[in-house]
């Protein structure tokens, strides 16, 4: 099966529009795709040549922060509630970060200015970094983070993440499924990861993303597949596509077949 259940478009931080991505996916003969925008959702009209699954990637927290891929048959007001809660709290955190940067580094800008600059309703830590780079207050993302936003920075403010159990309540209520995204990003050793996965499973986690062509190797895919089977968890996969500078759209395999079959019902 050719598919991709982890794609980002210009709706969040991707570089291609959804129309462009759909055209490429059809040309590559993908059967199923999902736009999993960061903490955002916009419905996609059904398409005659490809199946589109509803998805979103939430910043979530349970003991620690992580990314949570959610798939669901139909959009619901509960998703809107989560998105609005995330945006309101993220704006509060970003406003605090901006004020600290103003005070510590004497750089004058505001949340409203960034909303206008990026044409967005909510501003993330990455938006602040991009603005600082654009205005030559830093040379790169890593240097901007070191100076202004990381834990060791004088102006550090923790980012907001949605409580996992609150997300789980909404997603389960609408017949959806939740997957731990790119587990390699947690930087856990094997025993720590298994302990964390079991904790999440006890609180509603359905599966693990075992294929992520932008972040994970084949060896890691095999390891996470064994872990998922060992604990009776579903699997899913995708490219985590943002743009063509790093990776392509689409993966080939049966990793998401059970999930797709459940959602099609």
pLDDT in tens, 163-190: 999 999 999 999 999 999 999 999 999 9
C-alpha 124/C-alpha 89 separation (Å) is 10
Q: What is the Cα gyration radius of the chain?
A: 19
| pLDDT greater than 90 at residue 264 | no
Burial class (CB in 10 A: 0-12, 13-18, 19+), 117: middle
pLDDT at 265: 72
What average pLDDT does this structure show over 210-221? 95
C-alpha 4/C-alpha 239 separation (Å) is 6
Per the model's pLDDT, the better-predicted residue between 186 and 14 turns out to be 186
pLDDT band at 37 (very low <50, low <70, confident <90, very high): very high
C-alpha 58/C-alpha 36 separation (Å) is 9
38-65 per-position pLDDT tens digit: 999 998 877 889 999 999 999 999 999 9
pLDDT band at 26 (very low <50, low <70, confident <90, very high): very high
What are 132's two structure tokens?
A: 């600082």
Percent of the chain with pLDDT over 70: 100
The hierarchical CATH code for the domain 2-76+174-264 is 3.20.20.140
Residues of the chain with CATH 3.20.20.140: 2-76+174-264
69-90 per-position pLDDT tens digit: 999 999 999 999 999 999 999 9
pTM of the prediction?
0.93
pLDDT at 48: 84
C-alpha 74/C-alpha 81 separation (Å) is 15
């Amino acid at each position: 099966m050719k598919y991709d259940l982890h794609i980002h478009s210009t709706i969040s931080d991707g570089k291609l529009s959804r129309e462009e991505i759909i055209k490429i996916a059809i040309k590559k003969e993908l059967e199923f795709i999902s736009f999993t925008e960061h903490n955002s959702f916009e419905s996609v009209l059904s398409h005659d040549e490809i199946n589109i699954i509803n998805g979103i990637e939430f910043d979530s927290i349970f003991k620690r922060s992580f990314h949570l891929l959610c798939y669901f048959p139909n959009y619901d007001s509960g998703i809107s509630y989560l998105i609005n809660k995330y945006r309101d709290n993220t704006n509060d955190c970003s406003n605090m970060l901006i004020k600290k940067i103003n005070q510590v580094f004497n750089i004058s800008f505001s949340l409203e200015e960034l909303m206008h600059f990026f044409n967005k309703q909510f501003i993330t830590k990455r938006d602040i970094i991009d603005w600082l780079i654009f205005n030559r207050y830093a040379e790169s993302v890593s240097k901007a983070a070191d100076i202004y936003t990381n834990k060791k920075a004088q102006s550090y403010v923790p980012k907001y993440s949605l409580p996992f159990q609150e997300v789980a309540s909404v997603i389960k209520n609408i017949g959806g499924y939740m997957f731990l995204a790119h587990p390699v990003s947690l930087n856990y050793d094997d025993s720590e990861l298994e302990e964390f996965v079991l904790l999440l499973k006890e609180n509603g986690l359905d599966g693990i993303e075992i294929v992520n062509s932008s972040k994970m190797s084949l060896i890691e895919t095999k390891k996470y597949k064994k872990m998922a089977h060992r604990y009776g968890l579903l699997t899913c996969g995708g490219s985590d596509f943002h743009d063509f500078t790093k990776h392509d759209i689409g993966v080939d395999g049966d990793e998401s077949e059970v999930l797709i079959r459940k959602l099609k019902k």
